[in-house]
Every structure is written in structure tokens, then in C-alpha cells.
Amino acid sequence: MDPVEIGKLIEAGFDNATVKVIGDGSHFEALVVASEFEGKRSIARHQLVYKSLGELVGNEIHALSIRALTPEEWQEAQAGNPLG
């Protein structure tokens, strides 16, 4: 799988997300910034990302590390503030 293709699939699962994906063809890291994460715990956020990828996870995508943030959390991270 291509990281760009995975990023497009994730973007399609959200209304207006910022997505960055890097990887080596089977192991990937994704940064997903989406307002849909507001009020959700980490596991629920990850489930939303997995849902956008469907059956690719565990098949073509062998490993996926996800950093799922709200836009506010992303702004704080960019400013160098701890996210807690």
C-alpha cells in the first residue's frame, strides 16, 4: 500500500480532516486531525480511523500507528504545549 492512498482513504472517512501518513508499504504512521474526535477517548478515535480503512487493516496494512487529535489539540502541539 502507498501512504498517499491510505491518507486519501482516511480523509474520505471524515468531513474535513488533515491527514499525514508515512510508511514502508505495510507498516504506517498516521497523523489525523479531525473535529469528529471532540469528546472522544483515544480508542474511539482510533476506531473511527480504522473504520475509514475497512478490511485493509490487518491485510494490506499490517501495522498502523495513529496519532488522532482534535484541531485544538493539534494547535497546542504545534505551539509546543503538552497535551496531557
- Contact present, 70 and 32 (Cβ < 8 Å): no
Task: Indicate the length of the chain as a whole number.
Answer: 84
Which CATH number applies to 3-72?
Answer: 3.30.300.90
pLDDT score for 22: 96
As given in the structure block, the three cell numbers for residue 40 are 472522544
pTM comes to 0.89
Q: Given a cut of 80, is residue 83 above it in pLDDT?
A: no
Task: Quote the CA–CA distance of 34 and 70 in Å, as a whole number.
Answer: 5
Cell 474511539 locates to 44
Q: For residue 23, what is the DSSP state? A: E
pLDDT tens digits for range 2-41? 999 999 999 999 999 999 999 998 889 999 999 999 999 9
DSSP strand E in 1-84: where? Answer: 18-23, 27-33, 63-69
